[in-house]
Amino acid sequence: MPDWKLNIVALSILSCFLIGEVDADDVSQQWCQITDYNELCMNTIRVDPRDFLKTSPEGLCRIIVDRAILVSSANMANISELLRRSTGRSHQALSVCNDEYDVALNYLRRVDLSVINYRRYLDVVVVIAFSTQNVADCEDQFKQVVPPIPSPITNENRQLEDIINTVLEIINFKVCG
């Protein structure tokens, strides 16, 4: 085969790759814009080193769910430390929080994002929503003890709820949008 034909074939193959190339920042920005937590979403995705996940909604959700798992684990460690130093009503509420976070973490670890393009995406939404409910139940424990006491982990609970809600928004927009 003459050299010019090889060059044409090589250029054709290269152009296929270049035309099909997806800008991860554009994809991230497009999907994060639809969430109520745009800045949180962008920051979470920006710091993740897995560029190959940043080109699809499923990949973005994987990054955000992994961040939720990391935050949940850190919150559980904090709760364990607070439990060691607490007594009475605070100890009681933190003990329930510890159990709720354990359940939430198990839900998050079970998330299978590969099904969000199919009818079973609802399974993913339910599992993720349950983890949000566990975090809310943790926060409520401090209001339910008599007399109610302030939660020492309100900010941590809100942060995790925001992260989880971001995933839910992306999934809902991907499927229903």
Domains in the chain, CATH or no CATH each: 23-176 (1.20.140.40)
**What are the backbone angles phi and psi of residue 22, rounded to the nearest 5°?**
-110, 130
For residue 56, what pLDDT is reported?
Answer: 87
Measured CA distances, 88 to 95, 97, 146 (Å)? 11, 14, 11
CA dihedral 26, 28, 32, 37 (to 10 degrees): -130
For residue 166, what pLDDT is reported?
Answer: 93
> Which residues, in sequence order, are CB contacts of 129 under 8 Å at separation 6+?
168
For residue 69, what pLDDT is reported?
Answer: 97
For residue 7, what pLDDT is reported?
Answer: 38
What is the distance, to the nearest Å, from the Cα of residue 119 to the centroid of all Cα atoms in its chain? 21
For residue 61, what pLDDT is reported?
Answer: 92
Task: Tell me how crowded residue 120 is: count the other CB atoms within 10 A of its CB.
Answer: 12
pLDDT tier for residue 175 given thresholds of 50, 70 and 90? low
Q: At residue 30, does pLDDT exceed 80? A: yes
Stretch among 10-19, 43-52, 100-109, 140-149 having the lowest mean pLDDT: 10-19
The rounded distance, in Å, linking the Cα atoms of 155 and 143 is 15
Average pLDDT over residues 35-56: 93
Average pLDDT over residues 13-28: 50
**1-5, 142-146, 170-174: which is most confident:** 142-146
Q: At residue 81, does pLDDT exceed 60? A: yes
Q: What is the pTM of this model?
A: 0.81
Exposed, middle or buried: residue 54 (CB in 10 Å: 0-12, 13-18, 19+)?
A: buried
CB 50 within 8 A of CB 152: no
Task: Tell me how crowded residue 128 is: count the other CB atoms within 10 A of its CB.
Answer: 24
